[in-house]
Structure 1
């Protein structure tokens, strides 16, 4: 399925920050339905170095007008991301390596904190930091042929960009320990069985196309309500008691009550038509 894209922010000419390489490793576009596409394109494996992370953060900040964001790889179906750039890491001092891991972890958290839904479209290998990047997204659409895992203990290190925390919250403590301690890679089918994949896509299909269909469905809903519900879910999950969690929900509902979109939704329901939400 082909989608017509309207480019709203490209890396071109003298407007690039100094730290951009001659060949952009991460770019972004926005569709006419306000779906943001962040494309990873750093052959051969979308290895994450310092420049890659700086560009990723730059493109994330360009998505202010998006109603939903899709993170995908231009190198599909071979690879989503093979994780940190180990060749670059080998040249770092211990202090530089520590600073890089902080940068990696901070970038993942900033992705997780984006106010709109983020979908990772995985088609190919997503290991190490590549899987941690996908774990920082809200939803993961995974092709059956994909391979995902956290192999860091094989290198005598631990996942350092959220893997030890996000994976057990997603699939349970026991299964997360097994995957991290063995470094085993899951197929896309196994990832779905474990609860790591939100949607499983056959090999004949494109994870990006399926992610686009899902994003289109989300983008049609009230954008203020989508943002408020994401905030409510993420903040509520941090609370120990249900009483405190329900207070978060109350605050989220208070955000949507005074909006024009809420009135538009009621009017559209009454008149039997499709609502036209403007995020107001």
Structure 2
């Protein structure tokens, strides 16, 4: 799928979604284009999300969006409808049954940070920068970051990001656990993302999905144990397990 806001390309089982707007800004069309692109992934087994031209995303396109918000606020329920459309777009990303890798180079701001919090793995370049500045604009971040970030980086660090609006650099993001790897260049970042995506795409799909579902449910310990066991009871891939056991037998033989 190609639109003015997202481009999707395929390489075997791996799909790559590029944020195509200038500086990766999210205008009104993005919130319709993203769910459509995700629904059109077909049999892709892993997804990479990237920006372009040295910027991942500057977040919400305020020039396009602010007039729409201003017009919606006086209308009963219209503002909530607009926000719900945006929230559902990122919910659709989080709900994908396949692994999603965010490859972040340059700035990742506001809604861009909320987007990567809905991904499964976050990689970055050493020049990446992250911020959640909504509070400084008189806005509460309302696209999922305030609920998705605490399990990733802790409540205190989320509070620091969300209440100060201050940016953090890539080493800090790595230290906090917001990203799990840093790479020196965008080329190195994308090469690593593609290699990792190919590896994740080769996983037994039901096992990958069940792992995602269990992690993202954020259940209490006992409920999480039950959820994982029930998933295996319903979906255990005996062929994959048998192939792995045969491989182990040959290597030990």
Q: Compare relative contact order (CA 8 Å, sep 6+) and give the higher one, 1 or 2.
A: 2
Unpaired runs of at least 5, structure 1: 1-9, 12-22, 273-280
User: What is the TM-score normalised by the length of structure 1?
Assistant: 0.81
For the aligned residue pairs, the C-alpha RMSD in angstroms reads 1.8
Instruction: Pick from 83, 96, 102 the counterpart of residue 114 of structure 1.
Output: 96
State yes or no: 1:56 paired with 2:34.
Answer: yes
Count of residues paired in the alignment = 245
Q: 1:228, 1:255 within 8 Å by CA — same for their partners in 2?
A: no
Rounded to whole Å, the distance in 2 between the matches of 1:139 and 1:204 is: 17
- In the TM superposition, residue 256 of structure 1 has moved relative to its aligned partner by 4.0
Instruction: Pick from 85, 98, 119 the counterpart of residue 80 of structure 2.
Output: 98
Rounded to whole Å, the distance in 2 between the matches of 1:84 and 1:206 is: 28
- In the TM superposition, residue 268 of structure 1 has moved relative to its aligned partner by 3.6
Greater helix share, structure number = 2
- In the TM superposition, residue 102 of structure 1 has moved relative to its aligned partner by 1.6
User: What is the TM-score normalised by the length of structure 2?
Assistant: 0.89
Tell me which residue corresponds to 1:227: 209
Tell me which residue corresponds to 2:108: 126
Deviations, residues 109-135 of structure 1 (Å, cap 9, x unaligned):
111111111111000111010111111
Unpaired runs of at least 5, structure 2: none
Of residues 242-251 and 256-265 in structure 1, the stretch that sits farther from structure 2 once superposed is: 256-265
- SS of 2:26's equivalent in the other structure is coil
Change in 2 beyond 3 A, CA 1:84/1:245: same
Tell me which residue corresponds to 1:200: 182
Rounded to whole Å, the distance in 2 between the matches of 1:204 and 1:36 is: 18
Tell me which residue corresponds to 1:46: 24
Q: 2:206, 2:236 within 8 Å by CA — same for their partners in 1?
A: no
Rounded to whole Å, the distance in 1 between the matches of 2:204 and 2:242 is: 11
- In the TM superposition, residue 271 of structure 1 has moved relative to its aligned partner by 4.1
Instruction: Pick from 176, 184, 192 the counterpart of residue 210 of structure 1.
Output: 192
State yes or no: 1:72 paired with 2:45.
Answer: no
Tell me which residue corresponds to 1:83: 59
Rounded to whole Å, the distance in 1 between the matches of 2:27 and 2:188 is: 27
State yes or no: 1:253 paired with 2:229.
Answer: no
Trace 1:140-219 onto structure 2 (pairs within 5 A).
140-203=122-185, 205-219=187-201
Rounded to whole Å, the distance in 2 between the matches of 1:155 and 1:112 is: 26
- SS of 1:120's equivalent in the other structure is strand
Q: 1:256, 1:262 within 8 Å by CA — same for their partners in 2?
A: no
